[in-house]
Structure 1
Amino acid sequence: MKKFVYIVTDRNRKSLHVGISSDLMKTLDFYKQMPNLFFDCGQQLTRLVYFEEFKTEAQALGRFKVISRFTRMQKERMVRACNPNWIDLTIGLDFEHILSSKPLVNQVKLPFQTMS
């Protein structure tokens, strides 16, 4: 089973939170639906800006422990290295999830295809 280590942030990038999950989409949905128990609206952690995928829980836990000890500057450098514009990566995951759950056969007809 896959495991993910991720970093989420708020819209102003004030808070960076490192987490670990086996179902990234479900975890991100939880963040978006979670009432603002610890943060105000501006600090709600809804933007996925970084993630890594691992094959085992042990690998993910080891990486989680390393990243958790990083300073804020180290985390920011890590995010900027692969996501320089701090784009919310959830959009890509949603698209990938949609593609994997629905077969694309016969949904798109190319202009040069003939109808049988």
Structure 2
Amino acid sequence: MFKLTGTHNYFVYIVTNRNRSVLYIGVTNDLKRRLYEHKFDSMNEKSHFTGKYNIFYLIYWEKFEYIEHAIDRETEIKGWVRKQKDKLISEFNPEWNFLNEEI
């Protein structure tokens, strides 16, 4: 996927539900696996926030080499109001297309 020899990859990502009404911001070192986990929970136990609200559609992501930078960015975005998050997503993905198949 995005892994290069000798590097570390961490991702800050935003997923949403089908109606794009709820956002979830997370951080992971394996974006494909994490998206699968969100979808699996949505289709089965619904034991987490993303599962309960069927939030597994990827609409935004950023890549980082260092986990500290990814965590700092996740914290920053989580502190924003919805309008700021919407602007960030729209600049990256103007149509708010679901990007799961591109990962």
TM over 0.5: yes
How many residues matched?
Answer: 93
| Equivalence for 2:3 | none
Q: Runs of 4 or more off by more than 2 Å in structure 1?
A: 35-39
Question: Tell me, which stretches of 5 or more residues in structure 2 are unaligned?
Answer: 1-7
Structure (1 or 2) with the larger CA radius of gyration: 1
| Distance in 1 (alpha carbons) for counterparts of 2:48 and 2:67 | 28
- The 1:80–1:42 alpha-carbon spacing in structure 2 relative to 1, beyond 3 Å, is farther
Letter in 2 for 1:59: H
Same amino acid, percent of matched pairs: 33
Letter in 2 for 1:33: F
Map 1:52-91; keep pairs closer than 5 Å: 52-91=62-101
- The 1:73–1:33 alpha-carbon spacing in structure 2 relative to 1, beyond 3 Å, is same
Q: What is the Cα-based RMSD across aligned positions, in Å?
A: 1.9
**1:26-57 alpha-carbon deviations (Å, 9 max, x no partner):** 00000000032356x89301200000000000
Are the counterparts in 2 of residues 9 and 47 from structure 1 also a CA contact under 8 Å? yes
Q: TM-score when scaled to structure 1?
A: 0.74
| Distance in 1 (alpha carbons) for counterparts of 2:10 and 2:55 | 20
